[in-house]
C-alpha cells in the first residue's frame, strides 16, 4: 500500500516532466514505479511499523536500518537512468532544464527546510525514545499542520474537513487489509499450514541462504496477486 500511495502521489507530477525531457512513456512509468518501492524502505515506513509491531522488533532499529539501503537503491536508479540517457535507447532525448545550478538548489533548500525536518523529527523522536511509533504519527500531523498553516500559509482551516475525510478513508483501507489478513493468518496457523510450508521448504534445502531465497521467491509470486501488506502479515 505504501509504494502504491507514493507512486500515485508523485506519478501525476513526475511522469509528464520526465516525458517532456524526451524519455519514452514506458520508461517514465517504469522509473516512477521502481522508485515508489523505496517508500517501504526509507523511514518513516508504514511497512516497518506493521512488521515491528507484529514481530516484536524495534521499529526505531528498522527505521535506522532502512536509511542506507534506501539511499543505495536511489543511487542505483540514478546510475541506470544516466546510462540510458547516454545510450542509443533515447535518440530523441533533450535536456531543457539547463545546467546544474548550486545556487538554485541552495535557495530551494532554504524554502523547504521546514518540511524536510518532518522525517528527521519522526525518526529522531522514535530513536531517542521521546515518543513511540504511534505517537510519532500524531507529532507528524501536528507538525505538518503548523508548517502548512503558520510557515507556508498554504493550509486553510476550511481544508481540514477534506483532509480528515481522506485520512479516514486511507486509514479504513489499511485497517481493512490488516484485519482480513490477520484473520487469514490465524486460520492458516489453526490449520497447521505453517508446518506444511516449513516441511516443504526444509525438504528442499537445509541451508539458511536457500531457505531465505525460497521465502523471497514465494513472496515475490504472492505479491503479484495479493496486496503486499496482507502478504507481510500472513508470512509473519
Cβ of 85: how many Cβ atoms within 10 Å? Answer: 14
Distance, CA of 145 to CA of 157 (rounded, Å): 10
Cα separations in angstroms, 224 against 6, 33, 174, 199, 228:
18, 14, 18, 24, 9
Q: How far apart are CA 205 and CA 193, in angstroms?
A: 19
C-alpha cell read off for 5: 500511495
Convert the pLDDT of each residue in 95-116 to its tens digit: 555 566 788 888 888 888 888 8
Task: Write down the pLDDT at residue 194.
Answer: 75
Q: Please give the pLDDT value at position 181.
A: 76
First to last CA, the chain: 17
The predicted pLDDT at position 96 comes to 52
Q: Which residue has the cell 498554504?
A: 154
Contact 173, 226 (CB under 8 A): no
Tens-place pLDDT, residues 54-75:
888 888 888 889 989 989 998 9
Q: How far apart are CA 121 and CA 135, in angstroms?
A: 12
Instruction: Supply angle C-alpha 123, 127, 133, rounded to 5.
Output: 65
Sequence-separated (6 or more) residues with CB below 8 Å from residue 184: 230, 234
Count the alpha carbons within 13 Å of 9 in the hemisphere toward its beta carbon.
Answer: 10
111-120's contacts with Cβ under 8 Å and 24+ in sequence apart are: 114/147, 114/151, 114/152, 115/147, 117/143, 118/143, 118/144, 118/147, 119/43, 119/44
Q: Could you say which DSSP state residue 150 is in?
A: I
Give the pLDDT confidence score for residue 88 in this predicted structure. Answer: 57
Note the pLDDT of residue 224: 83
Phi, psi dihedrals of residue 96, rounded to the nearest 5°? -110, -5
Per-10-residue mean pLDDT, the chain, length 236: 67 80 81 83 83 86 89 90 71 56 83 85 84 84 91 89 88 80 80 80 85 87 80 80
Amino acid at each position: 500500500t505504501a509504494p502504491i500511495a507514493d507512486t500515485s502521489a508523485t506519478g501525476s507530477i513526475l511522469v509528464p516532466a520526465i516525458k517532456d525531457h524526451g524519455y519514452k512513456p514506458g520508461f517514465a512509468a517504469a522509473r516512477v514505479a521502481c522508485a515508489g518501492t523505496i517508500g517501504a524502505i526509507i523511514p518513516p515506513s508504514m511497512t516497518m511499523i506493521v512488521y515491528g509491531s507484529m514481530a516484536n522488533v524495534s521499529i526505531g532499529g528498522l527505521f535506522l536500518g532502512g536509511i542506507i539501503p534506501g539511499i543505495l537503491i536511489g543511487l542505483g536508479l540514478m546510475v541506470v537512468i544516466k546510462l540510458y540517457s547516454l545510450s542509443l535507447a533515447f535518440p530523441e532525448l533533450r535536456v531543457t532544464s539547463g545546467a546544474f545550478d548550486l545556487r538554485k538548489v541552495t535557495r530551494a533548500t532554504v524554502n523547504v527546510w521546514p518540511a524536510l525536518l518532518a522525517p528527521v523529527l519522526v525518526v529522531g523522536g522514535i530513536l531517542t525514545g521521546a515518543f513511540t511509533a504511534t505517537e510519532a504519527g500524531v507529532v507528524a500531523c501536528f507538525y505538518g499542520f503548523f508548517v502548512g498553516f503558520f510557515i507556508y500559509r498554504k493550509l486553510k482551516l476550511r481544508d481540514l474537513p477534506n483532509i480528515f475525510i481522506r485520512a479516514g478513508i486511507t486509514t479504513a483501507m489499511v485497517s481493512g487489509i490488516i484485519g482480513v489478513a490477520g484473520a487469514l493468518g490465524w486460520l492458516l496457523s489453526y490449520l497447521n499450514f505453517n508446518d506444511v510450508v516449513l516441511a516443504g521448504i526444509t525438504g528442499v534445502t537445509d541451508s539458511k541462504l536457500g531457505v531465505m531465497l525460497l521465502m523471497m521467491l514465494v513472496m515475490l509470486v504472492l505479491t503479484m496477486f495479493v496486496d503486499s501488506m496482507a502478504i507481510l502479515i500472513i508470512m509473519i
